[in-house]
């Protein structure tokens, strides 16, 4: 006898009304689901317009990698396994049900022919059975983790949907899977088909029902069948109302993710975001796509230092505001006729409540962000948290509400083009002491321009390294020049503090200065010392014409060493660890060149546990360097990081490639009491040591 799927076993025969009810409920479920989805789409449409780059093949590929196979969960094996089991369990069971519907409603009803037969049917049974088991195992792992292990990142301060959402979700999936297995077991127990062993789990469970009478079995089967169907329909219908909606929104968010350079903030209103509908629709979609997983929070240096910021809670709060705004406004339209009349006569009432309220989003949490992008880098659904924070900061700046020290820095940047309150004429004063004069790129033709940046130009702790770097470039015979007093702060951090207008001014002045450069070659090279300058020059400056390459000095040193233009006078020895600056690594993907430089010098590079794209921020980025630490700080990010380095065995040197890192970590060495144990060196110092003897 050929195995074949029974047509709605038991139901078709004895409870035909239930079969019809099932069709009706199914149709209704689809309608409710569609309505729910449509409501979300309308919520997203509260936001401002934002163009999306068309690149369907790339986007689809990303969806397969990150949505279907959840590529960004890989860092946490437990979570990945658990989530894949649940997702694929549910997914395959859903497809199985869909196939069964096709088999019955198209094959059997229309053509009196079923494709769920023979070996295909047996394979189908086995797959569904095993994935049902996987689903239950996945759910058990989830319950265990959420309610026994209780990792901090899963704790919620706020529930945009409803408080027991996570429990509801796990529970209903568990009940659906459980009732499904019971239905199968009861059917196998009653029908006793010879291929029952192809459903090993169901068959095993069937043993428990063998003693029941056929009548009882059929009655019980019907009961569980109804329960299973009702649960499944309820789950589907309620997807848009619970965080299960991430099934849809995550996929959409991943599909529509930013494909541009991550270091470029989109052009936005200098006035920033005051209310939820001031964000763009794509940002609203991202907030809605948050799965509350808390990976961002786990990576966040501001959160770890005890600040009020948790990127997860911030996004949840924004999602909550979105849902509230949608409720109040009936998804963007005046809710009542009265309101409609009012809106028609008066200026349109604000769609949403102000976000900048200590009860909603506090200034302290916004200022705590270092824009290190660690959150964004790990977000499974590609939420752009730093961008949202900068948007919210812009509003604070537009209202003039900011830390006094930030205000001082901005005033200085506005007036002198640097944050040190020093004359712009003094910018290249460090170069006066050099034996060989550096060209003024605005007056003499050059191959490349060295954009030195504020810290390397003005901070007395860094000047010596700047001079050493200049000597290395000169020794290698590079043809380079400076913009001298024409150089201004690049504006990277100014922009991230939220002072968009000042950023534009600084960028304009720098572009003017670059416009005066007489390039010798078609390949115009700009070298930066500061990774922050690198980022904005590379990603946010629109250089006229083509051919401008922006490089970090570590990339240049790497090229010079590889080309043999910097012969070593002394091979260095010993072990060192290298700290990836956020704006060099995570933002611009430069991981290898500094490491190659160190190895070329003879240094053995020992990695810290958090390295490369997981590098831990020093705490100075995003304008944090201009702010005071809050008195209740638990541990500064730089101290946390330095301790990590100090715990490495026999690694006395901590190598940095950013002048701000140098300042931050040299302080951290002192404040953590590691003087004499570990020394912070700029990579250029080591190169100078090796090539100058």
Partner 1 sequence: MNLIVLLKMVPDTVEELNVASDGKSLDSEYLRFKLNDPDEHALEEALLLKERAGGKVTVVALDAPEVDDALFMALAKGADRAVKIPADQASLGTVATARMFATFLASGGGQITPDTLVLPGSQAIDDLEGEVAAYLGEALSLPYVGVVSSVSPVNGKVVVLKEFSGGMRGEFEVTLPAVLGIQSAEKPPRYVPVAKVRAVMKSAKIETADIAPPESAKALAVERMYKPEVAGRAQILEGTPEDIAVRIASLLAERGII
Partner 2 sequence: MSTGILVLVEHLKGTMADITFEMLGVGRKVAAAQGGQVHAVLLGKNVAALATRLGAADSVLLADEPSLEQSSAEVIVPLLQQLMAQKQASLVLLGGTNASFGLGVQLSARMKVPFVNFCKGARVEGGSLVLTSQLFSGKILSDVKLADGKGIVSIYPGAFPAEAGRSDKTPPVEKVAVPPGSPKVVFKRYIEPDTSDVDITKQSVLVAVGRGIQNADNISLAEDLAKTLGGAVCASRPVIDQGWLPLSRQVGKSGMSVAPKLYLALGISGAPEHCEGMKGAQLIVAINTDPKAPIFDVAHYGANADCLEIIELLKEAVEKKKTK
Q: Which 367-426 residues touch partner 2, going by CB under 8 A?
A: 404-405, 408, 420-422
What is the Cα–Cα distance from 6 to 191, expressed in whole angstroms?
A: 10
Provide the minimum distance between the beta carbon of 670 and partner 2 in the complex, in angstroms, as a whole number.
5
Contact partner at residue 667 from partner 1, partner 2, none, CB < 5 to 8 Å by partner kind: partner 2
Report helix, strand or coil for 526: strand
For position 97 contacting partner 1 by CB under 8 A, the verdict is no
Report residue 559 as tokens.
């090229």
Provide the minimum distance between the beta carbon of 502 and partner 1 in the complex, in angstroms, as a whole number.
4
Which residue bears the tokens 């996987």? 134
What is the Cα–Cα distance from 54 to 44, expressed in whole angstroms?
A: 19
Listed residue (476, 466, 693, 465) closest to 601, CA to CA:
693
Kind plus residue range of the DSSP H or E element containing 182: helix 165-191
Q: Which 252-271 residues touch partner 1, going by CB under 8 A?
A: 270-271
DSSP category for residue 629: P
Pairing of strands 575-578, 604-605: parallel
Contact partner at residue 407 from partner 2, partner 1, none, CB < 5 to 8 Å by partner kind: partner 1
Q: Which 650-689 residues touch partner 2, going by CB under 8 A?
A: 667, 670-671, 673, 675
Contact partner at residue 150 from partner 2, partner 1, none, CB < 5 to 8 Å by partner kind: none
What is the Cα–Cα distance from 361 to 343, expressed in whole angstroms?
A: 28
Provide the minimum distance between the beta carbon of 425 and partner 1 in the complex, in angstroms, as a whole number.
7
Binding mask 206-245 vs partner 2 (x if CB under 8 A, - otherwise)?
A: ----------------------------------------
Q: What percentage of the chain's residues is helix, strand, coil (to nearest 5)?
A: 60, 5, 35
Nearer to partner 2, 461 or 569 (CB): 461
Report residue 370 as tokens.
């270092």
Contact partner at residue 237 from partner 2, partner 1, none, CB < 5 to 8 Å by partner kind: none
Rounded to 5°, the CA angle 158-162-167 comes to 100
Nearer to partner 2, 424 or 504 (CB): 424
Binding mask 381-420 vs partner 1 (x if CB under 8 A, - otherwise)?
A: ----------------xx-x-x-x--x--xx--xxx----
What is the Cα–Cα distance from 157 to 319, expressed in whole angstroms?
A: 13
For 558, residues 6+ apart whose C-beta sits below 8 A from its C-beta are 592, 593, 594, 596, 597, 600
Q: Which 518-547 residues touch partner 2, going by CB under 8 A?
A: none
Listed residue (281, 437, 302, 275) closest to 357, CA to CA:
275
Provide the minimum distance between the beta carbon of 571 and partner 2 in the complex, in angstroms, as a whole number.
28
Provide the minimum distance between the beta carbon of 624 and partner 2 in the complex, in angstroms, as a whole number.
12
Q: Which 347-366 residues touch partner 1, going by CB under 8 A?
A: none
Nearer to partner 2, 408 or 607 (CB): 408
Pairing of strands 480-482, 448-451: parallel
Instruction: Identify the bridge partners of residue 525 per DSSP, sorted by sequence position.
Output: 448, 549
Q: What are phi and psi of 680, to 5 degrees?
A: -95, 125
Q: What are phi and psi of 448, to 5 degrees?
A: -140, 160
Instruction: Identify the bridge partners of residue 448 per DSSP, sorted by sequence position.
Output: 480, 525
For position 425 contacting partner 1 by CB under 8 A, the verdict is yes
Total number of residues that touch partner 1 (CB under 8 A)? 23
Contact partner at residue 398 from partner 1, partner 2, none, CB < 5 to 8 Å by partner kind: partner 1
What is the Cα–Cα distance from 512 to 209, expressed in whole angstroms?
A: 83
Q: Which 418-437 residues touch partner 2, going by CB under 8 A?
A: 420-422
Provide the minimum distance between the beta carbon of 406 and partner 1 in the complex, in angstroms, as a whole number.
8
Contact partner at residue 405 from partner 1, partner 2, none, CB < 5 to 8 Å by partner kind: partner 2
For position 512 contacting partner 1 by CB under 8 A, the verdict is no
Which ranges of 459-613 would DSSP assign to H, the alpha helix?
Answer: 463-475, 492-497, 500-515, 531-539, 553-562, 592-601
Provide the minimum distance between the beta carbon of 283 and partner 1 in the complex, in angstroms, as a whole number.
21
Which of 443, 461, 599, 634 lies at the binding interface for partner 2 (CB under 8 A)?
461
Provide the minimum distance between the beta carbon of 624 and partner 1 in the complex, in angstroms, as a whole number.
18
Nearer to partner 1, 288 or 540 (CB): 540
What is the Cα–Cα distance from 394 to 274, expressed in whole angstroms?
A: 9
Positive or negative, the CA dihedral 199, 202, 205, 208 is negative
What does the binding site for partner 2 look like in residue numbers (CB under 8 A)? 404-405, 408, 420-422, 460-461, 464, 628-629, 631, 667, 670-671, 673, 675
Q: Which residues bind partner 1 (CB under 8 A)?
A: 270-271, 397-398, 400, 402, 404, 407, 410-411, 414-416, 421-423, 425, 499-502, 504-505
């Amino acid at each position: 006898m050929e195995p074949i799927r029974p047509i709605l076993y038991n139901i078709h025969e004895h409870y035909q009304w239930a079969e019809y009810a099932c069709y009706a409920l199914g149709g209704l479920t689809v309608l409710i689901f569609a309505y729910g989805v449509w409501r979300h789409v309308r919520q997203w449409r509260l936001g401002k317009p934002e163009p999306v780059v068309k690149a369907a093949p790339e986007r689809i590929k990303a969806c397969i990698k990150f949505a279907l196979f959840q590529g960004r969960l890989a860092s946490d094996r437990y979570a990945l396994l658990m989530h894949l089991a649940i997702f694929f369990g549910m997914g395959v069971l859903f497809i199985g049900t869909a196939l069964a519907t096709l088999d019955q409603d198209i094959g059997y009803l229309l053509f009196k022919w079923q494709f769920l037969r023979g070996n295909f049917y047996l394979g189908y049974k086995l797959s569904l059975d095993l994935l049902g088991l996987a689903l239950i195992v996945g759910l058990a792992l989830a319950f265990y983790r959420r309610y026994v292990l209780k990792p901090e990142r899963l704790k919620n301060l706020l529930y945009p949907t409803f408080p027991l959402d996570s429990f509801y979700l796990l529970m209903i999936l568990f009940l659906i899977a459980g009732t499904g297995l019971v239905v199968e077991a009861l059917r196998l127990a009653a029908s006793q088909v010879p291929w029952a062993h192809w459903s090993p789990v169901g068959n095993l469970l069937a043993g428990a029902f063998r003693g029941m009478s056929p009548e009882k079995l059929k009655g019980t089967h019907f009961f569980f069948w109804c329960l299973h169907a009702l649960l499944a329909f309820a789950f589907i219908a309620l997807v848009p109302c619970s965080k299960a909606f991430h099934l849809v929104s995550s996929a959409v968010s991943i599909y529509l993710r930013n494909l541009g350079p991550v270091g470029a903030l989109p052009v936005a209103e200098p006035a920033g975001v005051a209310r939820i509908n001031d964000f763009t629709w794509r940002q609203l979609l991202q907030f809605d796509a948050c799965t509350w997983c808390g990976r961002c929070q786990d990576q966040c240096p501001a959160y770890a230092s005890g600040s009020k910021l948790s990127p997860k809670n911030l996004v949840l709060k924004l999602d909550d505001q979105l849902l509230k705004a949608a409720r109040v406004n009936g998804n963007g339209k005046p809710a009542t006729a009265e309101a409609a009349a009012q809106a028609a006569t008066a200026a349109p009432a604000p769609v949403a409540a102000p976000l900048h309220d200590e009860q909603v989003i506090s200034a302290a949490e916004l200022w705590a962000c270092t824009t290190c992008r660690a959150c964004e880098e790990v977000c499974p659904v590609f939420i752009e948290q730093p961008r949202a924070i900068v948007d919210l900061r812009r509003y604070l700046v537009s209202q003039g509400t900011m830390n006094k020290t930030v205000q001082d820095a901005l005033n200085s940047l506005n007036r002198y083009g640097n944050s040190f309150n020093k004359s712009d004429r003094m910018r290249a004063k460090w170069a006066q002491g050099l034996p060989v004069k550096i060209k003024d790129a605005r007056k003499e033709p050059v191959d490349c321009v060295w954009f030195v940046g504020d810290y390397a130009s003005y901070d007395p702790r860094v000047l010596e390294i700047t001079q050493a770097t200049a000597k290395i470039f000169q020794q290698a015979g590079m043809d380079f020049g400076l913009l001298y007093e024409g150089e201004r702060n690049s504006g990277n951090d100014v922009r991230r503090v939220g002072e968009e207008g000042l950023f534009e001014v600084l960028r304009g002045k720098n572009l003017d200065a670059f416009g005066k450069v007489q390039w010798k070659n078609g390949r115009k090279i700009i070298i930066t010392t500061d990774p922050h300058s690198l980022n904005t020059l590379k990603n946010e400056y629109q250089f006229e014409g083509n051919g401008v390459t922006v490089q970090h000095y570590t990339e240049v040193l790497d090229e010079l060493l590889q080309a043999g233009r910097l012969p070593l006078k002394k091979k260095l020895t010993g072990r060192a660890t290298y700290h990836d600056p956020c704006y060099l690594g995570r933002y611009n993907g430069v991981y290898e060149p500094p490491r190659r430089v160190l190895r070329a010098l003879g240094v053995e590079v020992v990695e810290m546990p958090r390295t490369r794209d997981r590098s831990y921020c020093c705490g100075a980025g995003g304008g944090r360097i201009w702010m005071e630490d809050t008195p209740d700080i638990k541990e500064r990010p730089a101290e946390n990081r330095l301790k990590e380095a100090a715990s490495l065995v026999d690694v006395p040197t901590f190598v940095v490639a950013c002048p701000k890192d140098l300042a931050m970590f040299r302080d951290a060495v002192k404040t953590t009491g590691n003087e004499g144990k570990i020394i912070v060196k700029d990579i250029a110092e080591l190169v100078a040591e090796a090539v100058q003897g």
